[in-house]
Amino acid sequence: MNTRILFLEELNRIRHDILAMASRVDENVGNAWEALRNNDQDLAQEVRSADALVNAMQLKIEDQAAVLIATQQPVARDLRELVTIFKITLNLERAGDHAVHLAKVALELSGEPSFRVMEDLEKMTETGRDMIRSALSAYLSQDSAAARQTAALDDQIDNDHKIITQGLLHLMQEHPELINQAVHILRTSGFLERLGDHVTNICEGIVYMVENKHEEL
């Protein structure tokens, strides 16, 4: 078997592992939201425990990519993809961290009544999960236009975060007794906003990989 075929086989294994890592992060975010919405302490603990697997996936993928760079000495687009892989795994790992933060808030708010802004938070969560899936689809299909479209969804998350922040600040002024709960919810919105930022970083990496140019999305 020639060297090129071996290289492509190893690269495809890495792509498969990245897909598995993204799927795990997506699932963790979804479970963290369910834990928060339903005051499910057991599910929140599961999310916190599952983060170790995400971290292990990151290390495995990065080790594989480093070996390919060292042994195959790729150039041009092949090299750009391997460099981009490090950006993808780093930002997926950080997105996974925000799932853990959501789970922690679920534990802190366990038993507390829900806020009306929970619907807005659910919308942010679903947009963030859509971004994760779309970004990985863009990576696997090598589609920079799809990456740009995915990054544009971050504007929705940013706008929802602003609306929630303004509403909670007003609520805290009118009802000081709810400040503690409101702060927890405000933190949650901030975690989701940053999750969108990390997926946008992945999309920027895809544009670089495909078009060989750095573009801030």
Per residue, the 3-state secondary structure of the chain, as one string, reads CCHHHHHHHHHHHHHHHHHHHHHHHHHHHHHHHHHHHHCCHHHHHHHHHHHHHHHHHHHHHHHHHHHHHHHHCCCHHHHHHHHHHHHHHHHHHHHHHHHHHHHHHHHHCCCCCCCCCHHHHHHHHHHHHHHHHHHHHHHHCCCHHHHHHHHHCHHHHHHHHHHHHHHHHHHHHHCHHHHHHHHHHHHHHHHHHHHHHHHHHHHHHHHHHHHCCCCCC
Please state whether the predicted TM-score (pTM) of the whole model is above 0.85: yes
Q: What pLDDT, on a 0 to 100 scale, did the predictor assign at position 108? A: 79
Q: What pLDDT, on a 0 to 100 scale, did the predictor assign at position 54? A: 96
Q: What pLDDT, on a 0 to 100 scale, did the predictor assign at position 181? A: 82
Kindly give the confidence (pLDDT) of every residue in the chain, 217 residues in length, as a single tens digit, with 9 standing for 90 and above. Answer: 578 888 999 999 999 999 999 999 999 999 999 998 888 889 999 999 999 999 999 999 999 999 999 999 898 999 999 999 999 999 999 999 999 988 888 887 765 555 667 788 899 999 999 999 999 999 999 999 999 999 999 999 999 999 999 988 888 888 888 888 888 888 889 999 999 999 999 999 999 999 999 999 9
Q: Which residue ranges form the domains of the chain, and what is each CATH number?
A: 3-211 (1.20.58.220)
